[in-house]
Structures are given as structure tokens and as C-alpha cells.
Chain A
């Protein structure tokens, strides 16, 4: 992809995003937040995925969530309220705060280090790569090589 088309794509995406921008309705917020919270009955499942028949907590938490969304609180405020009531384990993933940042940063940092390391290693090895072995240059080998190249299109 050329540099021009890469830059052309960005405003296009922004325009499309702006056109489709809308406020999430209550049901969508409930589904979204319900998948970011855990059921606290001890089943270790996402709130809206709790399959525990007759679960004592899932229904109660769902009602609290519906009520909190109904009051017009922001998502962050709803999550904070749940955290205050049930403790940090109610959040399905650690928030970006203090030590929890480490959870999010380490895997991508390792990916970058790994990619950089592999590139550097290949570059270092390339600089001292061994010369190509001598291949017989007789007509038969040459013809065969040419035929293989043609037929396999590699």
C-alpha cells in the first residue's frame, strides 16, 4: 500500500466513524458492563454468562446493574460502585491503576522486545553469513533448475 493511500484511509475511517457515532442504549450498556463484571457466587464466571442454576448472586447483581444504569451514572462510576461493594475481584479484568498496569503492559512489551530482538539477531547473523555453497553448473543441472523454476513459478 502506498504512503498516499495509507493517509487517505485515515480520514475515511474518521468520517465513517463520525457518521456512525451514536449513544449506546440502555440494553447495550447493560450487556457491555455485564460482561465486564464477575458473578460473585464463587462460580468464577462473567456476570451475564453465569450458568449456575438458582445462582444467589447473579440476579441480584444484574438488578443492581440495571438500577445503576437507570440512574444515568457513567460506566466508570457504575464499575467503581461495584468495586466498592464487592471488592476488586468483581471486575472481570484489572483496571489500569497502580500495579495492575503491569498486567496489561508486560505482554505487548515482550512482543516488541521479541520482535526487535529477532530483527536484530537476523541482521547480525546476515552480516556474517557463510557464502553460498558451490552448485554444479553443468548443462543438465542448469536445465533441470530452469525447468523447476518455470514449472513451480517460485
Chain B
């Protein structure tokens, strides 16, 4: 199998290189009108087929590595370092991405997979797809070079083969780890497709905005994968790392957030190009930046340039990424300088009170947020260069600098839908703002008796309560603005169809899935912000607990019922059994534990969490008292965390809605049993302000 895997990787590299070279030559000939021994069309077709075949070759290599993990083939250094005989089978599958070499192979495989779909769907636009396919082949060549030369997953152990492996990092032995990295990588890698289309469209001076229509679904699907990947990572951190939080502003977390922010900005600003022919250069550079940030993030976290908790995948492949990054940037700059006249904007912003203007500010703030994250991540290196010593840039910095930016972004989320394209009259602005404004005011007052005291910003140096208060008020504002949009549109349909309001809202959404799906995503974001704001009120207690001893946190009383040890083939565990009471009634039993994995000789915490809409009772087995042998229990009361995960589900739902094709006017009229002409008018109403 190792020989088969290595051979498959070599074949994949050769096929991708052929796709790049033959595709490049064919496109050059097509552009200049010159002809060689083969017709450029035929050569481009062979290049496309080579690209398709490269997917099968990389799939064989990925299969070979997974097979090696399942058959405990410890001749492979990678399997020896990341698996062992007692490892449960889902984690053996996850071994594919648990180390440097395997995760790069996963990257190459996903890239080839995206390329496979793109090349199969070439009839959407043969020439543009040929450009995109060739550019994608260039990226494939880089990653396949890495796994063939710099970080090969099929290296063999020198000397005698050990009987068992060193095991998987205990932190990765958690169900979410089986899906979190592939999701994240699907997001990172997926941005290569809109990048390839954008660069291809620029190189061939593609007329019109069709490339945006072609890549819209690609970008949204990619964005969704990255979003889900990031949140699964947060959920994993929350449930595994045991420090009571879900986001630590670690460089690896930051690396995933940066392309997400620019990708989000791109999803918004392409609408201006589609509708008004504006911001063409901006959009091209947004998608270039998103792709470059994916690579930069990988470089930062794998080269050891910045230190990170996520040390699973560090090595010396940084130089490869530096060269690739500079090369890609040079190609992008060159293509832009040569073709920038092709990207002239067709319209200008006409008013500050317009949808375009709100998108411009939204982009500004998203990019600033991205810059702040990058700045904070790189500042320790800059500091070492400028003043000779490293400094730490951690949560307190981001909480001070990035949180206000996030709050401002939430504000813009509410403003955008209230403004019309081109220009909105002051009267209309006032009218649209009244109800959401009142809602914000009501929420701002209502949360004060609940313990949200914004004035503590003046009495302490904690700004958390103040920002939480502003966030709750803005959440009220944005949610009301979104519901008002649905309500207004649904009322129009209700008048014509006599359906109930909910059915009308569903039909409204189906008539313009992108717009209303987008609003659902915004509502999901509001829920996520509410959940994050709850963090300002986290409390914790730590106590050594003997049998029947109790501790109190918030409304809960925790009683220790037992503490013991257990063992199995994979790990030994030490755990406590805790009964949780509220108002004298037992509501649940929690059993936090520490596991000690035998193969890797590393410990890991297993958090016990009782989650409600109001708060999470999050309990960690923090250690054992060396004198008494009794468990040290740390309990956290984390308000509103569940809202984050609910917000994610709403965001996923909204994105899926936005991916759905619109209901046509005729079909909408048929569904609502009204004449087609009236249906068309309703459709116009449903699309007003789109």
C-alpha cells in the first residue's frame, strides 16, 4: 500500500502538471490566434481530462493512507505517529488529517475534488472554465509537490517496525474532530474555485458579470463550509479544552477567521457588481485576498512563525508556502495591472443613505476586522523586529480592539435592509428606523434589571457589560428590522392569496431566496452575537469536593456523589459523579473526567455540561488533591452559550435557503392560485429593494 500511495501521488502530480502546461499553452494559443501541431481546443480538452484523472489519482493516495491506518500498517512513519491498535475506527479515519503530511494530502484531495466538479461542469462556460481549470491545476501542482517532496505521508520507518503506534493526540479524540477539520478544509480549499474564476475572468477580460453568477453558489457553499468548520472548532474547544470558553484568539483560530471575514465581505460586495456594475476591482481583490489569506494562515500556523496551542502540524515547510504566496501575489498583481482598465466601474455611489453605501461600510468594517486579527497575530513578530523582544497579543487586546468593530458590524447588519438601492429619502429612513429603534430602546432598558449594567465601564476597567448591553440593544434593532422586512413582504402576498401570514412569508422567501435567505443568515448572526455577549457575565468556582460535599454556583447546587477510576484498552479515566440541584430538586447528574491515553501517554479533560437556553453549567475535573485524593472540581456558569449554536443552525438554514433557486413568477402564481399577471405583480413586490 505505501508504494501504491506514493505512486498515485506521483501520477497525480504529473497529471496536474500536464493540465497546467497543456491548458496554459492552449489558452495562450486561443488568445493570440496562433496554432501549433495540435489544435488548442483539443489540447485544452486533454488538459481538462488530465485534471479529472488527477482526482482519481489523489483519491487512490488518500485511500491508501486511510487503509494503512485501518490495517495498523506501522511501517509508515505517519501511521506510527498518529494511530495505534486500540484507537476506535472513526479516529483511525481522522488520522488522515491529524498530522502535517496527512492534512496536506487531504487539502490536495479536496482541491482535486473541487477541480473534478468544476471540470465536469465545463459546459457552463467552456473558455472561462478552461482558464479556471488551468489556474486550479497550478494550485494542485503546488500541493502535490508538497506531498510528493516536502511532506510525504508514505515515508517508511527505518529499522524494525514497532508493534504498536504512538496513538492519536488525545485532544483530537472527540467526535467533532472527525468532521471539524474536513469542514474547515472544504472552506479553505473551496475559495480556490472563485479565486480561479476571478483570476481567469480577469486574464481573459471576460465580458459582463457571468463569472460572478457561475461562482456565486461555489462561494456560498465554501463560505458555509468554513462557517461550519469554525463553529465546530469552537464547539470542540468548548467541550474538550476545558477552560470554559470557545474562542481563545489563538493564531490557528485567527487563521480561519481572516479568510472568513474577507469571504463574507466578498459575498456582500458582489451584489453591488451584479446589480450596479460597481466595485469590480474591489471584488477581484477581495477574492484574491481571501485565497491569499487561506495560504497565509496555513503558512503562519505550520511554519512555527507564531506560536500556537494547535501544535499538531508544525514543521519546516514554511519556505514552500512563502514561495507560493509570493508567486500567487505576483501573478494576481500582474494580471490586475495588465487588465485593470477592464474593471472600470459602471456606476458611482449616489447617496450615503443607500444600500450600496451600507455595503461599502460593511466591507470596510469586515476588512478592518480582518486587518485587526492579522495585526494582532503578526504584532509579536513585528515587536521582536522593532524592539528586540516578543510581546503577547491575546484575548485582552482583541476584546478591546475587535469587539467594538464587531458591534459596529452588527449595527450595519440592521441598517442595510432598511435602505434602498441608489438612494433612500430621509423620510423613508426615518419611517423604517422607528420600529427597530423603539425595539432597541425597549431591549436596552429591559436588560438592565436582569443584571446588564453598562455603567460598570465607568467604575471598573471591564467594558464587557457595556458592550453586552449595546449588543443586546442592537440585536433588538436588527431582529426587528429583519422581521419587519418579512412582515411587509408577506402582507403583500397575503392580500393577494388569502393565505396565512406564515405561508405568505414562506412563499415570499421562495420568490427571492437569496434576499430572504440572507436575512435569515443575518438573524442567525444576531443570535450568535447575543450568545457571545453572554460571555461578559461568566462566573466560576473551584473547590475540592469530598463525598456528599456541596458547592454553589448561580442557582445550582452541586453535590459530589462519588469519585472513582476506570480503564479500557485506549485510556484510563478518573471521574467524579456530581448531582446537580436547583431549588432543592435534582435536575441532572454530571460526570466530568480526566482521561490518560496509554499510547500517547497524554492526559485530556472530558467536560460535563448541562446546557439550557439561559446558561451552561460547565463542570471540569480540574485535578486531584494530592493530600486527600479528592477531586478538584471547577464549575463555570456561562450565560447564553446555547444561543451561539442555535445561531449557527439558523445561519446554515439561511445559507441553504439562499442556495435554493427562486420560484418562477408563473409557478408562484399557480401555487397561490391567482392569475399569472397578478403573480408577476406580487413577484415585483417580493423583489422590491432586492
Interface residues, chain A, CB within 8 Å of chain B? 13-14, 16-17, 20-22, 24, 32, 35-36, 38, 43-46, 49-51, 53-54, 87-94, 98-100, 103-104, 106-108, 110-111, 114-115, 118-119, 121-123, 125-126, 128-130, 144, 147-148, 151-154
Known contacts being A17-B458, A32-B462, A45-B243, is A93 close to B681, with CB within 8 Å?
Answer: no
| B210 beta carbon closer than 8 Å to chain A | no
The answer to whether B368 and A91 touch across the interface, beta carbons within 8 angstroms, is no
The answer to whether B492 and A151 touch across the interface, beta carbons within 8 angstroms, is yes
A43 CA / B307 CA spacing, docked (Å): 9
Sample of 5 further A-B pairs with CB below 8 A, known A51-B242, A118-B357, A130-B348: A21-B459, A38-B394, A51-B620, A153-B488, A154-B688
Partner of A20, one of B391, B459, B492: B459
The answer to whether B248 and A49 touch across the interface, beta carbons within 8 angstroms, is yes
| Stretch of B57-65, B71-79, B382-390 at the chain-chain interface | B382-390
A43 CA / B248 CA spacing, docked (Å): 12
A103 CA / B396 CA spacing, docked (Å): 12
- Give chain B residues whose Cβ lies under 8 Å from the Cβ of A118: 357, 360-361, 364
- Give chain A residues whose Cβ lies under 8 Å from the Cβ of B605: 51, 53
Interface centre among A24, A50, A114, A121 (most CB of B within 10 A): A114
Nearest CB of chain B from residue A91's CB, rounded to whole Å: 6
A69 CA / B349 CA spacing, docked (Å): 57
The answer to whether B241 and A51 touch across the interface, beta carbons within 8 angstroms, is yes
Nearest CB of chain B from residue A36's CB, rounded to whole Å: 6
Partner of A152, one of B456, B488, B603: B488
The chain A residue sitting closest to B542, CB to CB, is A48
A125 CA / B356 CA spacing, docked (Å): 13
A27 CA / B603 CA spacing, docked (Å): 29
| B685 beta carbon closer than 8 Å to chain A | yes
Known contacts being A13-B455, A107-B405, A154-B689, is A147 close to B681, with CB within 8 Å?
Answer: yes
Nearest CB of chain B from residue A126's CB, rounded to whole Å: 6
Partner of B405, one of A13, A106, A111: A111
Known contacts being A13-B458, A22-B459, A130-B347, is A54 close to B603, with CB within 8 Å?
Answer: yes
The answer to whether B349 and A121 touch across the interface, beta carbons within 8 angstroms, is yes
Q: Top 8 A-B pairs ranked by shortest CB distance?
A: A125-B348, A17-B458, A93-B397, A49-B243, A93-B396, A92-B394, A53-B603, A94-B391
The answer to whether B243 and A107 touch across the interface, beta carbons within 8 angstroms, is no
The answer to whether A94 and B393 touch across the interface, beta carbons within 8 angstroms, is yes
Known contacts being A129-B348, A154-B428, is A89 close to B688, with CB within 8 Å?
Answer: no
A147 CA / B678 CA spacing, docked (Å): 12
The chain A residue sitting closest to B310, CB to CB, is A44
A20 CA / B458 CA spacing, docked (Å): 10
A138 CA / B466 CA spacing, docked (Å): 55
Nearest CB of chain B from residue A94's CB, rounded to whole Å: 4
CB-defined A-B contacts under 8 Å, sample of 15? A51-B241, A87-B389, A89-B391, A92-B397, A93-B393, A104-B397, A106-B375, A107-B402, A114-B364, A118-B360, A118-B361, A122-B349, A144-B684, A148-B685, A153-B488
The answer to whether A44 and B492 touch across the interface, beta carbons within 8 angstroms, is no
The answer to whether A38 and B392 touch across the interface, beta carbons within 8 angstroms, is yes
A151 CA / B367 CA spacing, docked (Å): 37
The answer to whether A110 and B351 touch across the interface, beta carbons within 8 angstroms, is no
A125 CA / B375 CA spacing, docked (Å): 31
| B401 beta carbon closer than 8 Å to chain A | yes
Chain A interface secondary structure, helix, strand, loop or mixed?
Answer: helix
Nearest CB of chain A from residue B625's CB, rounded to whole Å: 12
The chain B residue sitting closest to A153, CB to CB, is B488
- Give chain B residues whose Cβ lies under 8 Å from the Cβ of A107: 368, 371-372, 375, 401-402, 405
A63 CA / B607 CA spacing, docked (Å): 25
Interface size on B, residues (CB 8 A): 72
Nearest CB of chain A from residue B41's CB, rounded to whole Å: 42
The answer to whether A44 and B308 touch across the interface, beta carbons within 8 angstroms, is yes
Tell me the B130-151 residues at the A interface (CB within 8 Å).
none
Known contacts being A93-B396, A103-B375, is A44 close to B307, with CB within 8 Å?
Answer: yes
A94 CA / B393 CA spacing, docked (Å): 6
A16 CA / B459 CA spacing, docked (Å): 10
The answer to whether A88 and B248 touch across the interface, beta carbons within 8 angstroms, is no
Nearest CB of chain B from residue A57's CB, rounded to whole Å: 14
Partner of A125, one of B350, B420, B495: B350
The answer to whether A100 and B594 touch across the interface, beta carbons within 8 angstroms, is no
Interface residues, chain B, CB within 8 Å of chain A? 241-245, 248, 250, 307-309, 347-352, 357, 360-361, 364-365, 367-368, 371-372, 375-376, 379, 383, 386-387, 389-397, 400-402, 405, 420, 428, 431-432, 453, 455-456, 458-462, 488-489, 491-492, 495, 594, 603-605, 620, 623, 681, 684-685, 688-689
A90 CA / B392 CA spacing, docked (Å): 7
The chain A residue sitting closest to B484, CB to CB, is A153
Interface centre among B248, B394, B432, B604 (most CB of A within 10 A): B394
- Give chain B residues whose Cβ lies under 8 Å from the Cβ of A38: 392, 394
The answer to whether A91 and B462 touch across the interface, beta carbons within 8 angstroms, is no
The answer to whether B396 and A44 touch across the interface, beta carbons within 8 angstroms, is no
The answer to whether B458 and A99 touch across the interface, beta carbons within 8 angstroms, is no
Nearest CB of chain B from residue A5's CB, rounded to whole Å: 12
- Give chain B residues whose Cβ lies under 8 Å from the Cβ of A119: 352
The chain B residue sitting closest to A147, CB to CB, is B681
The chain B residue sitting closest to A75, CB to CB, is B461
Nearest CB of chain A from residue B286's CB, rounded to whole Å: 15
Partner of A35, one of B309, B368, B396, B458: B396
The answer to whether B364 and A115 touch across the interface, beta carbons within 8 angstroms, is yes
Nearest CB of chain A from residue B251's CB, rounded to whole Å: 9
The answer to whether B393 and A103 touch across the interface, beta carbons within 8 angstroms, is yes
Nearest CB of chain B from residue A47's CB, rounded to whole Å: 10
The chain A residue sitting closest to B390, CB to CB, is A89
Interface centre among B307, B387, B459 (most CB of A within 10 A): B459
The chain B residue sitting closest to A91, CB to CB, is B392
Partner of A49, one of B245, B352, B387, B393: B245
- Give chain A residues whose Cβ lies under 8 Å from the Cβ of B350: 125-126, 129
The answer to whether B685 and A151 touch across the interface, beta carbons within 8 angstroms, is yes
- Give chain B residues whose Cβ lies under 8 Å from the Cβ of A91: 391-392
- Give chain B residues whose Cβ lies under 8 Å from the Cβ of A103: 375-376, 379, 383, 391, 393, 397
The answer to whether A24 and B460 touch across the interface, beta carbons within 8 angstroms, is yes
The answer to whether B348 and A128 touch across the interface, beta carbons within 8 angstroms, is yes
The answer to whether A46 and B458 touch across the interface, beta carbons within 8 angstroms, is no
The answer to whether B383 and A100 touch across the interface, beta carbons within 8 angstroms, is yes
Known contacts being A98-B387, A99-B383, A152-B685, is A126 close to B395, with CB within 8 Å?
Answer: no
Interface centre among A14, A32, A103 (most CB of B within 10 A): A103
A93 CA / B372 CA spacing, docked (Å): 14
- Give chain B residues whose Cβ lies under 8 Å from the Cβ of A16: 455
Nearest CB of chain B from residue A70's CB, rounded to whole Å: 18
Nearest CB of chain A from residue B197's CB, rounded to whole Å: 28
A36 CA / B307 CA spacing, docked (Å): 18
The answer to whether B489 and A93 touch across the interface, beta carbons within 8 angstroms, is no
- Give chain A residues whose Cβ lies under 8 Å from the Cβ of B387: 98-99
- Give chain B residues whose Cβ lies under 8 Å from the Cβ of A53: 594, 603-605, 623
Partner of B401, one of A108, A121, A144, A147: A108
- Give chain B residues whose Cβ lies under 8 Å from the Cβ of A92: 392, 394-397
The chain B residue sitting closest to A105, CB to CB, is B401
A114 CA / B265 CA spacing, docked (Å): 15
The answer to whether A122 and B372 touch across the interface, beta carbons within 8 angstroms, is no
